[in-house]
Structure 1
């Protein structure tokens, strides 16, 4: 659904797209739609002015399971933007330092480069398949006869290490032999294209690049960076080859991937990926409320939490991060933070970090009406998934409106009486509801089960009423 010029991505269209997957939360959808549209608007500005326009980062406040992560993920999917989700708590896990905060930017760069490489690989699949067929035919049809060049010399051994070999010389073919060989190749290529040789076995030779990575431990900014000897030495190290026997259709797939890798410009992919990360990247920082200092007198974890907040400041505001591909600026990366803020509030964040998230939206807790809609309305909804799963066993489920409302009502009751986990409660409820049917499905082919109000009550109400059982099951 990505549109290159962004002209069709008006805020109302973005909200409509999000409505297909997320129920309610209109304020949050409007906020992210405006943020996304502002990116398109910035591209239309004069470059000097565009440099000064910073993204308006968003802070989402709301209980778990109401759609915070899903909104950010679907937004990135809509515009084909690099997207990384990190838990703020992972930066406090080890002593007072935790994981290097800048690592999330390096993760974003890697994601962007892989996205660009994937698109490039898709563009060269046709020529790569042609090359793969040629290589398969080379293995199927004996090549030109060779004769030995005598005793190998020192230089010939060196050439052999780099993939060259002049110790074998081709014998001259007669015109008739050459014509027959070319005719055979042409016929085999036609048969390959028609798929008539797919099940025939062939022995092929594939290359294995040496991967000798030495990780570098410790040091600020060096998180997850390492030295790859294969990359450093380049062509000096001979590429390892191995022969494998497989069916022609599998050989074509393997060789097509190998040839596609050769056809793409890796340096260009890296350069484009870094630019994509800087201009279009979205970083979702979840559980930001867990790094709020509780003001318990300055000690223990609070030192770590305040430290993480201050480490986040320059990254969110805009700084240059060193990656193994080069320097990357975070000036125009969109940051979306989220937290439940049950035991704290956004104003408990350090003032500098509060200022880095100028747009704040509150997501509502889900009531039974919204929970019922979540079961049925979104694309590939939970009920649709279960119906499709059991249909593979020729078991058919029919969910009646009364049954859906009853599931939602019980889920709301559980969220009120126990921990509120939002829509995630529905997964637990439906799994318990259909446990017997799922277990017995292979033996009950052809049967149809109607999930109505009484069906739901019979199976779930005993669990909901038993406070000891529901603590573990629901």
Structure 2
């Protein structure tokens, strides 16, 4: 260490002993953190961040606190002292801030620290990392106990309460999630490293891909980040960098790195990353993004921005290890059905036993027959598919499944409207014919379960508007004629349930 560095350390130690509450720039350079920050107790969970280099405390080391809640790392403070040498700061025995000749500094008579805090405002907690737990705390409370991981049949039973149908998909996801978190809890079994259980789900729009992942994350009580692959581009181009998907998970974990490293990332619209065909331009949002995601899926330490989706000089960075993060990718894969039909019809073109070429034209669940080869022909690269070993498809929703979705789940759409009218002390009922009429209209729109809410909103608008006007209404019955716009609902007045009045 140089003589100047020793002088710098002596100045800091000397000033810390004074414990002054209010400091001028010509006096002390540090104060007690509790004095500098009156809300220090609330911020103890977060790391300090240097205002100059934006590095967190875990990277830059212990911070120097100066008034107005400003933290500066030792490296930046040292550079500041070095730059002030030419203005009268000596390197001998008299080295001190008191000996700085500020008259030699052009246009500077006194540095106002309150102006400095205005120029560099306090960083919000959304851009600050949480402090890592000490080893003693980790031993007292393990990160994940294998005994507390619900078995596959309990995971599926929980999914059954919220998701109708999709028995195969729920079974596959339950086993994959259970095996993944056993891997996280144990690390190795007899020194055998267990690979990740990343998943790729294929299903038409509105079939419940995102909903299944949300229920899983809620059941396991782990952070979940849902991101869209359409905004991802290769590094250096306009759009979100690939590391932004990990940055969103870190934000969902309240900037707790250890908690984020055992979370779930769901990347929707993954089919939009397929290789572009018949183009001479650089594929910055297709194949190149698939290649860039390989290290994330397999497991690697990546540097991600905290509280932002892109890297820049004003955003702190941190290291996140993705080896224990479960990646689930999903997409509708339009036109994949034609690739599957082409493959299935290759061996059925000639002979007495040949199948008809239009055999699979009316097959709704043709995506259930998808293979890795079909996805390669669609435009997904083999290296990407190899890191998503679990491939499964969701069933298309038929009319009977849509009717069950309306009334069976815990938070079914009908139950939501019944609760809304119950707050007005009015009962709401739907006839079976009305439910099938709603499902039939939703099937025609080809939007899956998302169409149900839109259809109900249309005919419930007048009812939700008129009911608060009349306190005598006790029950409303939705009929098939009202859904198909051939008549009105049945209104039952209070105390006269036997007399039905046509609305």
TM-score, structure 1 as length reference:
0.58
* Structure 1 residue 455: Cα displacement: 2.4
Structure with higher helix content: 1
Match of 1:433 in 2: 459
Q: Higher RCO, 1 or 2 (CA under 8 Å, sep at least 6)?
A: 1
| 2-structure distance, mates of 1:6, 1:65 | 35
* Structure 1 residue 94: Cα displacement: 10
CA pair 411-93 structure 1, distance change in 2 beyond 3 A: farther
Q: Which runs of 5+ in 1 are unaligned?
A: 115-269, 462-474
Q: Is 83-92 or 314-323 further displaced after alignment?
A: 314-323
Q: Does 1:288 align with 2:317?
A: no
CA pair 456-87 structure 1, distance change in 2 beyond 3 A: same
Q: Which runs of 5+ in 2 are unaligned?
A: 1-142, 305-315, 337-373, 489-503
SS of residue matched to 2:226: strand
* Structure 1 residue 438: Cα displacement: 1.4
SS of residue matched to 1:283: strand
Match of 2:479 in 1: 452
Query: Max radius of gyration: which structure?
Result: 2
Alignment map for 1:53-72 (pairs within 5 Å): 53-72=194-213
Match of 1:247 in 2: none
Aligned length: 295
Match of 2:72 in 1: none
Deviations 1:144-164 (A, max 9, x none): xxxxxxxxxxxxxxxxxxxxx
Q: Does 1:29 align with 2:11?
A: no
* Structure 1 residue 7: Cα displacement: 4.5
Q: Is the 8 A contact 1:406 1:456 kept in 2?
A: yes
Alignment map for 1:124-163 (pairs within 5 Å): none
| 2-structure distance, mates of 1:76, 1:315 | 20
Match of 1:137 in 2: none
CA pair 329-439 structure 1, distance change in 2 beyond 3 A: same
SS of residue matched to 2:281: coil
Kindly report the root-mean-square deviation, in angstroms, between the aligned alpha carbons of the 2 structures.
2.7
Q: Is the 8 A contact 1:85 1:284 kept in 2?
A: yes
Q: Does 1:276 align with 2:259?
A: yes
Query: Runs of 4 or more off by more than 6 Å in structure 1?
Result: none
Q: Is 360-369 or 395-404 further displaced after alignment?
A: 395-404
Q: Is the 8 A contact 1:285 1:338 kept in 2?
A: yes
State which of 376, 380, 384 in structure 1 corresponds to 2:411: 380
Q: Is the 8 A contact 1:396 1:446 kept in 2?
A: no
* Structure 1 residue 407: Cα displacement: 1.0
SS of residue matched to 2:429: strand
Match of 1:185 in 2: none
Alignment map for 1:387-398 (pairs within 5 Å): 387-398=418-429
Q: Does 1:369 align with 2:400?
A: yes
Q: Does 1:346 align with 2:375?
A: yes
| 1-structure distance, mates of 2:424, 2:332 | 40
